[in-house]
Amino acid sequence: MKVEELDSDKRCNTRLDLSLEISLPAQNGKTINISASGVYFEVITDDVDAFAIGTTHPVKIAAITTTPGFEERKIKLSGNGCIVRSDIKEVTNRGNKLCIALEFKSALNIIPNDI
């Protein structure tokens, strides 16, 4: 589902509501939505400080491309981003469930899985 917003948060890119695997150093999670300028995702962690606003993290997002007439292809999107929002949504027996908004510092690189 596409969500297009231009509101008080100054969002100007179309966001796609997609659940994809996202990995950061020593942490894995799931995306909630993604756009050309950033990603909103959730992780379960005991280290809330690692996701403080203003911290920069390298990220990799696993995705599958589909083009009519061709086979599906697994890719990874790779880049760096800065955390602009971090909220504790729930405390579980496995750790704190955080929802994180990360703004990409530059365009992501596309890495085919067969390399």
What DSSP state is assigned to residue 36? S
Whole-model pTM: value is 0.84
Cα–Cα distance measured from residue 110 to residue 21, given in angstroms and rounded to the nearest whole number: 15
pLDDT averaged per 10 residues, the chain (length 115) = 48 88 95 96 94 96 90 93 95 92 96 71
Q: For residue 98, what pLDDT is reported?
A: 96
Question: What structural domains and CATH numbers belong to the chain?
Answer: 2-112 (2.40.10.220)
Cβ atoms of 58 and 25 within 8 Å: the answer is: yes
Specify the long-range contacts of residues 62-71, CB closer than 8 Å, at least 24 apart.
62/20, 62/21, 62/22, 62/23, 63/18, 63/20
